Chain A
């Protein structure tokens, strides 16, 4: 079974040379730590920066340079700043190659719910609805089940939807799944996790074709 860093490490393998990547808050933010050093990738943050770098050294924080999680960051050579409308033009206009975000639920047809739990304080969708409505390559980073052990990989989402039919791939603590027209196709198992365990933790239709390899995470 993977922890949050493990999920981020596995997703980092999906990041290819020359990609512009938008990372959501939470596990997706960790992906930047594990991208191979021999490829060129630029990270976009929806609040208006392309070419995000690591956190600043202590004493070098700049209140005017933050990421979408409001954390202080740095920029790398080649970086640029821009306004919010242009930022979402990059997103809506499909100029960003890969979007990685978290989810509360994903359904068989690729619907995602990640912004609202009825009865709880609703914080808002931020940029999630814009991202999922336009991005063509969306990977979801999430735990396979909730704290009570119930599956979050469902036939149909029960929570208010963020976007319809948009998720292509899911990486959880248990497995890598592709969203296909027939359902969730099991691609890889997390280290030490059996196909049976994944089956039991998945409410939506799980497609298992042949031997399922164990994930390789460096």
Chain B
């Protein structure tokens, strides 16, 4: 067993420096790498490009990095829930590249799987297609989208083992598996880290080969963005 376990959140972010490109898993606040984000705030690396479906809220998730002005560019599909984000975007401090959600996921997966680029119909005929190669296949138009190139991927899983194998829970899975192995270094944080051999190999969602560092997060707030309930 090749041991991927690290002993502290400081080790998780070791090597992150100014101007790097980071992938961060999560959909809204669901399944975000909370502990790594908090540590990135402490680390203070600046001019970061962050690839993440959303940009957090003002006081949680990537909003914390925005508050510290650590992000120079966001690559996301939807960014609506954050006043500080809006202020920085409108003032020109923050560069934003809006990408269709399926394309965003596939740009991660392509990087993970060794494809330099792929054709997708999403965005053909729209602003998203501007400056991109387009091509017809079987009578339908597609645009060429390139795989991401990132320095670090920070992902969050439910359970993991020391070999870096990961199991996700519910819709907290989202972009996390697509980002594993899609950057030079993948750092996974989990709610429960167990010794190798304790997870059933049949149940593993992401094999440890895609993960370089794994640690158990000290605390998970798991904030709910829209609490909706029905009456009994």
Contacts and interface: CB of A to CB of B under 8 A. Distances in A.
B125 A65 contact: no
A200 interface: no
A116 B109 CA distance: 27
A interface secondary structure, majority: loop
27 contacts: A48-B174, A49-B170, A57-B230, A60-B229, A61-B228, A61-B229, A63-B29, A64-B31, A71-B226, A71-B227, A73-B228, A82-B173, A83-B175, A84-B104, A85-B105, A85-B106, A88-B101, A92-B121, A124-B77, A124-B78, A129-B123, A129-B128, A130-B101, A130-B102, A130-B103, A133-B120, A161-B126
Interface of B: 27-31, 53, 76-80, 86, 89-90, 98, 100-106, 108-109, 120-128, 158, 168-178, 205, 222-232
A92 B122 CA distance: 8
A89 to B, nearest CB: 8
Nearest to B86: A121
A124 to B, nearest CB: 4
Interface string A135-163: 00000000000000000000000001111
B232 to A, nearest CB: 5
Interface string A48-63: 1100001111101111
A27 B172 CA distance: 25
A58 B232 CA distance: 8
Nearest to B126: A161
- Interface size class on chain A is 35 or more
Given A124-B98, A133-B121, 14 more contacts: A46-B101, A46-B102, A61-B229, A63-B222, A64-B172, A71-B228, A81-B169, A116-B127, A124-B76, A124-B79, A129-B102, A133-B120, A133-B123, A163-B126
Nearest to A113: B126
Contacts of B90: 121
Interface in A70-128: 70-73, 81-85, 87-88, 91-92, 116, 121-128
Nearest to B158: A64
A61 B228 CA distance: 8
A56 B105 CA distance: 28
Contacts of A130: 100-103, 120, 122
Contacts of B108: 85
Contacts of A162: 126
Contacts of A66: 27-28, 30, 171, 224-226
B78 A88 contact: no
A12 B9 CA distance: 49
